[in-house]
A and B are shown apart, each in its own frame.
Chain A
Amino acid sequence: MIEGFRLGVYSRGATLWDGLDFAFGDAAVWFVTGPPASGKTLLLSILRGERRPDAGDVLVSGESLYRGNAALARAWRASCGHVPEQAIAGAPPTVGDLFRRSALVGGAVRETERKERTDGLLEMVGLRGASAWRIAEMSISERVRACLAAELLRGPKILFCDGVVAGAGVPSWEMLWGLFRALAREGNTVILAERRIPERWALAAGDPEPVGPFRVYSLSGPAAEGKGGPN
């Protein structure tokens, strides 16, 4: 479980949001929506342990991410999967390199296993035989799906996806919906940050919980609890 207590962030000389309290339970798909520049990516980075909040704390399984053991924080970050928005910056040359990079973080993924699973994962996201594709020549949707597949190589318990649904495109929503729910059923947690949730997903998730400027949908598992809002 990931919990946020009285989280507050100052960005660009102004308080973006403050006093956010929420909890993301395990084995669920959480959908966080918010208007542009509301700090969705920032929230994900705080939850991943990448950026320290200006106020409040994040607890992961009861351990403080920012005020506790730094090694634990590093381990948390290494164990999280993260698909950044558009997944362009710093992309390696080929899709295979993406998987190799992903395997670096997951030390247990061996070379042979990686090679075996790469094609399977790519096929799963609709990129069959794309391991040799050059990232620069792929579309946004393809890149996003390739990154997602590369993150799944490590089998992260928590998967943070920033703009993946919008980036992957409508044709891939079905695949993504099935994928995320499968992950949740396997006990993994997926936290997505999007501007808007696909309608079908929204219907499946039910009413969102307001968490500051965000609306948090739980696509499976217990609903998120949120208090506070944008300043």
Chain B
Amino acid sequence: MTRGTRRILSALLAASVSLCVLFPASAPAARDIAAELRKERGRLLEMKAREEKTAQELTEAIRKEKQSKGRVGELQERLKRQKNLLSRIDRKVSALNDRLERAEKDVRELEAAHGQARTDLQRAEVVAFTVQKAEAGIPLHPSARERERHFMRLYLEADAEGIARITRARERKVEELSGLERQVAVTERKMAREKKVGDKLLSRQEEERRRLSGIEREKKRKEKELKSLRAKIARMESVISRVERQVKERERRARKAAGGKATAPRQFASLSGGLSAPLSGKVVSRFGRQHDTTFDVTIENRGVEIEAASGASVKSVGQGEVAFAGAVSGFGNVLIVQHGGGLFSVYGRLEAFLVKQGEAVKKGSVVGRLPGSPSGKSVLYLELRAGGTAIDPTSVIPLDR
């Protein structure tokens, strides 16, 4: 709820309270003003309804905008993650390709080494055969020849072992190469898939951005409309204020005519019987200036919101008389109890009234009930007014914060 809307609603409540106080048994001169006020009220109501609707639409637009922004942000985040993922995949593919290249190079080198080793082994065998054939017949150094033949056997065995090692290494490398090629294929397919996903996300993001643009345009439009409405309502408020001043003046003159002294408005602290909490619950919205992080606006609360169990009974905070029981836009079912001396307590967002207008209530008597909620929690709006000025209920009533 925007600041403007709260102000409007607060003004309406104040007007209602004023009306309840001032016109339970009105004179004919007051009927004109009342008629004017009713007319103005009606207009205000209309405007308020429009404003409410516009505010709702704006809220909806803002909500949509927020949603859309959220989606855009989410999509951006997802795109970012997708990009990162694609980068990682790309890096992985590059790394795999590098490894593939190195593995291929290793395989080539091993094959070359294998071929060279085989050639060298064959050449060594030819050399061995040639030398031994040349020395066939009567050897001049038989022992040396025997030793050389034994060493040639060792040499050839070492060569053969070397060839076997190269062969094994080559097989391992070929296996590794196959694995890498499979990995590369898999990764490239994954990359293609992720690219498709990325493209989809891009298109969705684009779509979402377009939608966001539309929502922003709608929001601007609504804001503009709301601004206009507020201007009108402000003008209406000034009218109502003027009327209130007139009423007060008339009241003063009436009291003066009755010979009574003007009595200063009373304070809640001096109320007979004291005050008690309307129900047991936790204050979730405090009185006074509050910063609304959702809409990034500073609003002024004229009352407090108390979260309690859904369907909880609402009690009167003090002794008094039901001055109003009806629906007020933005607050739902509102019950106003006047405690005399310009002290009023306003109970909003009730589901049902358990008292009637004009019925006397005592401190702690049940006057209404909170609505049911799937979450099991409902919120009561409590406002205290003294002499037309809203006061912090927590300063006079022990409420759990």
Direct A–B contact in the complex, CB atoms closer than 8 angstroms: no
Q: Which residue numbers of B lie inside 8 Å of A, CB to CB?
A: none
